[in-house]
């Protein structure tokens, strides 16, 4: 269905903004407390391994999309079933983001406005964006990413007078268990959620290298997360950070230089809303593509409309209020593990075995043909 090919730069921007948008959903200050910035660095390193796994899978079947590979490896029925489960995961991930996104706008800016009014503006636009194709999402991300980077850099620089480097001490004081715990949860969400952006490679230029594109996106997103984590930690301190729902927004809210630079937290609000939209876009695109693969209608983004509505409704079915959504956040990584690690790993191993067997058979076939030719010549 897609006519235009998406470039690697656009996909990198999508991955970076998807990672940045995670700070809307998941607080960057985890169980590792003041060592959370170290956790981000380790998680970025480990997520490159994940990207390698997805890249190797895409390289194994260069003419197939990520979801089509499951059908190729596991057979038609099992592959379609996995696509269906992936659709459910993408809808769930999107529902979580959509709910918190709406609550964020309501809590921070529009207290009296009915949430459905916000949805009436945002949902049709998000559906249109996804139905216009991944290239459109990529173009939007490519434009929005520099804005996000400038805002994060600016808030870091303006926050320097309010920072206290002692808030990072004692370095590695949180202990190895908290460090491992924090690294694992940061690896699974947000970095592992790159899996939802992998279907973008199905409509990408043949010449691009998926691993390089993913690593670029992860590194940009990781650098922003690291900057934001350091800024939040140094301004508020780890124990205070854990008291806030939207840490970045509240940390930057402290910054005020004279009468001129104040209420600068609006920049963070804009950042979270923009990257939140890209995050919802990615989930919705993955969900609609998975549904169309499961139904055997390759590449259609038409299910975006019903999947988008399902995401919104699911958010309200799952949570009564923002606090119940926040309480569920620790369970998100556990739900993501099969989709981020297990299915792709099994597909990679099975795919490798199948391709080795195919090569051997091709080699044997060539040998037999050679022998036949020699016998007839003799």
Q: Which residues bind another protein (CB under 8 A)?
A: 1, 26, 30-31, 114-117, 119-120, 123-124, 127, 181, 184-185, 188-189, 291-292, 295-298, 300, 302-303, 305-310, 312-313, 316-320, 324-325, 327-335
Nearer of residues 31 and 55 to another protein, judged by Cβ: 31
CB of 92 to another protein, least distance (A): 10
Instruction: CB nearer to another protein: give 132 or 227.
Output: 132
Task: Tell the smallest beta-carbon distance from residue 362 to another protein (Å).
Answer: 34
Region at 377 (left for phi over 0; alpha for psi -120 to 50; beta for the rest): alpha
Query: With b meaning 16 or more CB within 10 Å and e meaning fewer, what string describes 104-138?
Result: bbbebeeeeeeeeebbeebbeebbebbbebbbbbb
* Shortest Å distance, C-beta 370 to another protein: 44
Closer residue to another protein in complex, CB, 309/372? 309
For 6, the 3-state DSSP assignment is strand
Which alpha helices (H) appear in 160-209, and where do they start and end?
176-188
Least distance from another protein to the Cβ atom of residue 248, Å: 17
Looking at beta carbons only, is 190 or 210 nearer to another protein?
Answer: 190
250 touches 236 (CB < 8 A): yes
Task: Give the nearest distance from C-beta 170 to another protein in angstroms.
Answer: 23
Rounded Cα gap, residues 2 and 219, in angstroms: 28
d(CA 253, CA 269): 10
Q: What is the Cα–Cα distance from 126 to 280, expressed in whole angstroms?
A: 8
User: Is the alpha carbon torsion for 160, 166, 169, 171 positive or negative?
Assistant: positive
Beta carbon nearer to another protein, 141 or 292:
292
**Closest separation between CB of residue 331 and another protein, Å?**
5
* Spatial contact of 177 and 30, defined as CB atoms under 8 Å apart: no
Q: Which is nearer to another protein, 208 or 307 (CB)?
A: 307
Secondary structure of the chain: what % helix, strand, coil (to 5)?
80, 0, 20
Tokens of 177: 């268990």
Compute the C-alpha angle 212/218/221, nearest 5°. Answer: 140
Would you list the DSSP string of 54-81?
Answer: HHHHHHHSTTS-HHHHHHHHH-HHHHHH
Give min distance, CB of 188 to another protein, in A.
7
Q: How far is the CB of 114 from another protein (least distance, A)?
A: 5
- Residue with Cβ nearer another protein (54 or 184): 184
Sorted by sequence, the CB contacts under 8 Å of residue 252 that are 6+ apart come out as 155, 159, 231, 235, 264, 265, 267, 268
Residue from 307, 303, 207, 298 nearest 1 by CA: 298
Q: Report, in Å, the least distance between residue 294 CB and another protein.
A: 9
By beta-carbon proximity to another protein, the closer residue of 217 and 333 is 333
Closer residue to another protein, CB minimum distance, 321 or 376: 321
């Amino acid at each position: 269905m897609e006519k235009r090919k998406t470039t690697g730069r656009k996909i990198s921007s999508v991955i970076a903004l998807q990672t940045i948008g995670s700070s809307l959903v998941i607080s960057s200050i985890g169980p590792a407390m003041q060592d959370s910035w170290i956790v981000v660095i380790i998680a970025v390193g480990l997520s490159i391994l994940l990207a390698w796994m997805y890249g190797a899978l895409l390289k194994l079947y260069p003419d197939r999309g990520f979801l089509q590979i499951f059908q190729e490896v596991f057979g038609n029925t099992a592959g379609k079933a996995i696509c269906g489960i992936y659709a459910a995961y993408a809808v769930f991930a999107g529902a979580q983001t959509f709910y918190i996104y709406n609550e964020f706008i309501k809590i921070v800016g529009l207290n009296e406005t009915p949430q459905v009014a916000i949805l009436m503006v945002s949902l049709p636009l998000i559906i249109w964006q996804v139905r216009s194709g991944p290239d459109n999402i990529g173009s939007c991300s490519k434009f929005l990413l520099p804005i996000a980077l400038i805002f994060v850099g600016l808030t870091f620089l303006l926050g320097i007078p309010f920072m206290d480097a002692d808030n990072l001490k004692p370095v590695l004081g949180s202990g190895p268990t908290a460090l491992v715990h924090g690294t694992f949860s940061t690896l699974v969400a947000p970095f592992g959620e790159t899996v939802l952006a992998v279907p973008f490679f199905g409509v990408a230029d043949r010449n691009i290298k998926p691993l390089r594109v993913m690593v670029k996106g992860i590194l940009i997103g990781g650098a922003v997360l690291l900057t934001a984590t350091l800024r939040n930690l140094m301004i508020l301190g780890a124990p205070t950070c854990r008291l806030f729902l939207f840490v970045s927004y509240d940390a930057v809210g402290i910054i005020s230089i004279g009468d001129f630079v104040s209420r600068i937290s609006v920049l963070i609000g804009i950042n979270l809303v923009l990257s939140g939209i890209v995050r919802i876009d990615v989930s919705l695109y993955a969900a609609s593509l998975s549904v169309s693969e499961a139904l055997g209608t390759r590449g259609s983004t038409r299910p975006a409309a019903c999947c988008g509505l399902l995401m919104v409704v699911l958010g309200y079915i799952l949570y009564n209020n923002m606090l119940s959504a926040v309480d569920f956040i620790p369970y998100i990584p556990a739900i993501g593990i099969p989709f981020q690690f297990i299915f792709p790993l099994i597909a990679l191993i099975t795919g490798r075995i199948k391709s080795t067997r195919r090569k051997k058979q091709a080699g044997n076939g060539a040998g037999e043909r050679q022998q036949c030719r020699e016998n007839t010549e003799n």
